[in-house]
A = this chain, B = another copy of it.
Amino acid sequence: MVPGRVYDAMSKPIVGHLDAFFFQVVEDIRGLLRTAFGTENTFTMAISGTGSAGMEAAVANFVEPGSKFVVLANGFFCDRITEMGKRYGAEVVRLEKPWGEAFSDAEATEFIRNEKPRVVAFVQAETSTGVFQASKAICAAAHEVGALVIADVVTSLGGMPVQLDANGIDIAYSCSQKGLSCPPGLAPISLSPRAIEWLRAKTTPQRTWYLDLKLLDQYYDGAHRYHHTAPISMFYALREALVSIAEEGVENRWARHQRNHLAFVAGIEAMGLKMHVAEGPRLCTLNTPRVPEGIDDLKVRQRLLAEHDIDVAGGFGPLAGKVFRVGIMGPLSTVENVLMLLDAFEKCLRAEGYQPAASGREAAAAFYASQKS
């Protein structure tokens, strides 16, 4: 869901892509994105493509042909990074986990120490499973062996603490929709000074031109050397979305997402459903309750859409038919929405033959009440 003010900003008259006004917008975005990313990185900007263009920019610029590339693989987007790594000629080595589990510090550290790769990639927030991956130990182990760290923060940015600097993440990319609540069209990206240094020292030829981060840096920073025509309207929209986040305060926003996530979980569990992801590494933005035995998740979801106008996604890959994927983020993450959602969810589950143990809505309401006292 996109706030009206963001749509309004997006439809303001465009200016040229070398206009001083546009670069002011870029600078505003740089500053505001830094706060959302939790970083002081100078190289913080937005790629002119959607989230996957950010992923490809990360892989194309940092993963070199023939180099060892470790991917911590526990979901769909880890597989996409793997595919890109292979396309760019890397020797991809994967540590695998079932979809829905996070890597422990010890197992990630041991794997990275043994493999000694040039680059490590992981997904901080996996949209396909609902898992939040702790980042600090991964980054520490990677730096210990001299590797750079790429983190996919597509579903965490703007909704949960990404904390690039505190964690030690070198390259992070995201999207403009989801947690930032702007229409899709841009891929925020941030590079640590270590990543920049690495990029400057790089001697292997760069394939991609459109996603060449060195050229993009010359366009957006300093010299403003013409590279490509940026999608001006999307930049207007992203700035407004970030301003709206800054007005709320990123910490307040994270707390809001967490509170509403916890209320939703309280409701889900009261109904007798189980969360697929263990307590701890759960995303606040994307919740994955398991589909109760004997229930057809598609029918429940179709009913939610038809009768309540609520769009809940299904699982896919190994989780097809096994989980619901319930996004509660941005302006949608409110007390009213969580209560309404649980109520509708309960009705649809009942209609499809599931008998909830107790009222999810009441449990969530009780959770909210307990938070106030």
Task: List chain A positions with a Cβ less than 8 A from chain B.
Answer: 2, 7-8, 10-11, 13-14, 16-17, 48-53, 55-56, 60, 80, 83-84, 87-88, 175, 177, 183-185, 205-211, 227-234, 237, 311
Known contacts A87-B206, A175-B229; is-contact A185 B184 (Cβ 8 Å): no
Does A208 contact B56, Cβ atoms closer than 8 Å? yes
Question: Which 8 residue pairs across A and B have the least CB separation, nearest first?
Answer: A185-B231, A7-B11, A52-B228, A183-B233, A11-B11, A56-B210, A184-B229, A50-B229
Add 18 more A-B contacts to A50-B231, A84-B209, A210-B211 (CB < 8 A).
A10-B10, A17-B184, A48-B49, A49-B49, A50-B228, A51-B228, A56-B209, A60-B207, A83-B209, A87-B205, A87-B206, A87-B208, A88-B207, A175-B229, A184-B232, A185-B231, A233-B233, A233-B234
- Total copies of the chain: 2
Quick one: which of B13, B48, B209 contacts A2, CB cutoff 8 A?
B13
Report how far A147 CA is from B14 CA in the complex, Å: 39
Interface of A is mostly: loop
Quick one: which of B209, B210, B227, B234 contacts A185, CB cutoff 8 A?
B234
CB distance from A223 to the nearest CB of B (A): 14
CB distance from A48 to the nearest CB of B (A): 6
Report how far A291 CA is from B167 CA in the complex, Å: 56
Does A11 contact B14, Cβ atoms closer than 8 Å? no
Chain B residues within an 8 Å CB radius of A231: 50, 183-185, 231, 234
Report how far A183 CA is from B233 CA in the complex, Å: 7
